[in-house]
């Protein structure tokens, strides 16, 4: 995103600050521009780098003339990359809460409601710090609904319902939230114009065009983006693929959730979904499912996801592995690696959520 902005703005750009994951800019020559400062930060769990990046963003904004025009480039991942905790909240507390949130099975709206209460930047906090400087936000969405107040936990936007916290919270989390006023305790941030430049729907359309070029009949889910428990979704998708006519190509997009056990194994929500689908496909013929994170990073692994079929579980059994047990322990990555079904793309530098593709081809 930054490379594109630098290319378009040219000499009109006075300066830029880019916060990203380690290694993401090593191959982008334009990022060597002397007016561009790059900070590598942490994802998906915030650490000391996130706090340093948050402070750098605040200082960068506040040092600008009040008449400066700002171009904000925001994508998924900003929640952990840039952070200034609310007064009295330590980094260790922030990490414990974030760790619990990532394994809680909560949807992104509930997760962000908690994150915003513990942050000075989220829920429009950064927009308030930047006022009255005019600006435009170009956003890549990785969340269902493409709400600017949800992408990156809403650095520039506040959602009317963002103060609605989950009903059941661990005692430690509830105590921390009680100490923080959150966005609702601050003045309303100024309105920042925004545009979604890339989202999951664009990835689904691209997959549809590619499927047509391969001679397949694409079928896109008519219910928008999926959400909910990854294992349940995997089983549902497997049933739909099995019930379809031959050569039907299914395209789904969205974001699932996983409730992690106390000592989870290796994997991510896409691998979890794929293993559940593979278990449901066992005994069928000609069924294949791909589940992948569009940024190439699924959960705690270095893999994008997995491609499974109706023979995955037979390969797992031949290797002496128990598929349901690995699913229960959230250790899908170990199982799928042994089966040879992991999908590794490396970082794609674009995050528009997850894609699930399915194919019924009895001739395979």
Residues 172 and 259 in one domain: no
Residues 226 and 243 in one domain: yes
Q: Quote the tokens at residue 276.
A: 């559940």
User: Which pLDDT tens digit goes with each residue over 317-360?
Assistant: 999 999 999 999 999 999 999 999 999 998 888 899 999 999 99
Residues 192 and 84 in one domain: yes
- Contact partners, residue 11, CB within 8 Å, separation at least 6: none
Please compute, for residue 110, the number of CA atoms within 13 A of its CA located in the half-sphere on the CB side.
16
Residues 232 and 276 in one domain: yes
Mean pLDDT of 166-193: 80
pLDDT of residue 184: 59
Domain end call among 164, 198, 232: 198
User: Which pLDDT tens digit goes with each residue over 277-301?
Assistant: 999 999 999 999 999 999 998 987 8
Residues 184 and 204 in one domain: no
- Residue 183: pLDDT band with limits 50, 70, 90: low
pLDDT of residue 180: 83
Residues 215 and 161 in one domain: no
Residue 220 is inside which H or E element, if any?
strand 217-220
User: Which pLDDT tens digit goes with each residue over 194-229?
Assistant: 999 999 999 999 999 999 898 887 887 767 899 999
pLDDT of residue 182: 63
Domain end call among 180, 198, 216: 198
- Look at the pTM and tell me if it is higher than 0.85: yes
We report the CATH number of the domain holding residue 184 as: 3.40.50.10180
Residues 142 and 209 in one domain: no
- The single-letter DSSP state of residue 7 is H
pLDDT of residue 342: 98
**Residues 166/168/170/174 CA torsion (nearest 10 deg):** 50
Domain end call among 198, 215, 241: 198
Please compute, for residue 80, the number of CA atoms within 13 A of its CA located in the half-sphere on the CB side.
19
**What domain range includes position 334?**
200-360
Residues 192 and 221 in one domain: no
CB 306 within 8 A of CB 343: yes
Mean predicted lDDT score pLDDT of the chain: 90
- Contact partners, residue 270, CB within 8 Å, separation at least 6: 230, 256, 291, 292, 293, 298, 299, 304, 305, 306, 354, 356
Percent of the chain clearing pLDDT 70 (strictly above): 95
Residues 192 and 212 in one domain: no
Residues 172 and 274 in one domain: no
User: Which pLDDT tens digit goes with each residue over 104-134?
Assistant: 888 887 888 888 888 999 989 999 999 999 9
> What is the count of structural domains for the chain?
2
CB 183 within 8 A of CB 128: no
Residues in the chain, how many? 364
Residues 194 and 205 in one domain: no
Residues 187 and 224 in one domain: no
Q: Quote the tokens at residue 331.
A: 């250790």
Secondary structure (3-state) at 222: coil
- Residue 185: pLDDT band with limits 50, 70, 90: low
Please check the confidence at residue 309 and state whether its pLDDT lies above 90: yes
């Amino acid at each position: 995103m930054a490379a594109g902005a630098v290319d378009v703005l040219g000499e009109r750009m006075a300066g830029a600050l880019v916060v990203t994951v380690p290694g993401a800019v090593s191959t982008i020559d334009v990022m060597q521009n002397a007016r561009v400062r790059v900070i590598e930060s942490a994802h998906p769990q915030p650490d000391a780098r996130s706090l340093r990046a948050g402070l750098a963003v605040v200082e960068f904004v506040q040092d600008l003339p009040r008449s400066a025009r700002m171009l904000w480039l925001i994508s998924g991942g900003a929640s952990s990359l840039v952070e200034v905790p609310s007064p009295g909240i330590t980094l260790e507390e922030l990490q414990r809460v974030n760790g619990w949130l990532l394994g809680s099975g909560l949807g992104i709206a509930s997760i962000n409601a908690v994150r915003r209460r513990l942050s000075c930047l989220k829920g429009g906090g950064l927009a308030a710090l930047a006022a009255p400087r005019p600006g435009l936000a170009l956003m890549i969405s990785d969340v269902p609904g493409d709400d600017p107040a949800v992408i990156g936990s809403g650095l520039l936007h506040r959602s009317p319902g963002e103060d609605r916290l989950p009903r059941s919270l661990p005692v430690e989390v509830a105590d921390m939230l009680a100490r923080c006023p959150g966005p609702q305790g601050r003045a309303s941030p100024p309105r920042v114009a925004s545009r979604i430049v890339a989202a999951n729907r664009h990835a689904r359309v691209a997959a549809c065009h590619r499927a047509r070029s391969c001679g397949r009949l694409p079928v896109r889910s008519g219910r928008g983006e999926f959400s909910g428990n990854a294992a349940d979704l995997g089983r549902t998708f497997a049933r739909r693929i099995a019930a379809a006519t031959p050569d039907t190509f299914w395209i789904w997009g969205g974001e699932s959730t996983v409730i992690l056990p106390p000592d989870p194994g290796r994997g991510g929500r896409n691998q979890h979904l794929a293993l559940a689908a593979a278990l449901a496909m066992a005994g069928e013929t000609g069924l294949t499912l791909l589940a992948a994170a569009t940024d190439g990073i699924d959960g705690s692994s270095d893999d994008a996801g997995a491609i499974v079929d109706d023979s995955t579980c037979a390969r797992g059994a031949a290797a002496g592995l128990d598929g349901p047990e690995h699913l229960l322990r959230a250790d899908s990555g170990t199982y799928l690696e042994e089966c040879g079904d992991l999908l590794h793309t490396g970082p794609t530098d674009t995050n528009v959520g997850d894609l699930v593709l399915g194919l019924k081809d009895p001739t395979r």
